[in-house]
Amino acid sequence: MNMNENENDYVSLGDVCRNQLGMQCQYGSRYADNLCKDLRYIGTPADYHPMKIHKEDVEEYVRRVVAYRNM
């Protein structure tokens, strides 16, 4: 998180995974380290429950995960 951001700029990765990808966070978080490592996160896939993603990166995260899963 950079100095111009605060935690209110982030949303639950678990909510994004469930609502937009139809998967549990434990599976969706696995894409964070490799496929989406340039996006802004709080937390780590090793402890995925509290993970958050920046609101502005949600759409790109979903796009990448869907594209990868449809390969």
- Residues 34-63 have pLDDT tens digits of 888 899 999 999 999 999 999 999 999 999
Query: How would you class 12 by CB atoms within 10 Å of its CB: exposed for 0-12, middle for 13-18, buried for 19 or more?
Result: middle
Residue range(s) defining the domain that contains residue 24? 9-69
> pLDDT-derived band of residue 1, with 50, 70 and 90 as boundaries?
low
HSE (side-chain half, CA atoms, 13 Å) at 11: 13
Question: Which pLDDT score is estimated for 3?
Answer: 56
CA nearest to 16, candidates 57, 69, 70: 57
How would you classify the pairing of strands 10-12 and 47-54?
antiparallel
21-32, pLDDT tens digit by residue? 999 999 999 998
Residue 26 inside a domain? The answer is yes
* Statement: residue 4 has pLDDT above 90: no
Q: How many separate domains does the chain show?
A: 1
**Residue 4: inside a domain:** no
pTM for the whole structure: 0.88
State the pLDDT at residue 63. Answer: 97
Helix (H, G, I), strand (E, B) or coil at 41: strand
Query: Does a structural domain hold residue 3?
Result: no
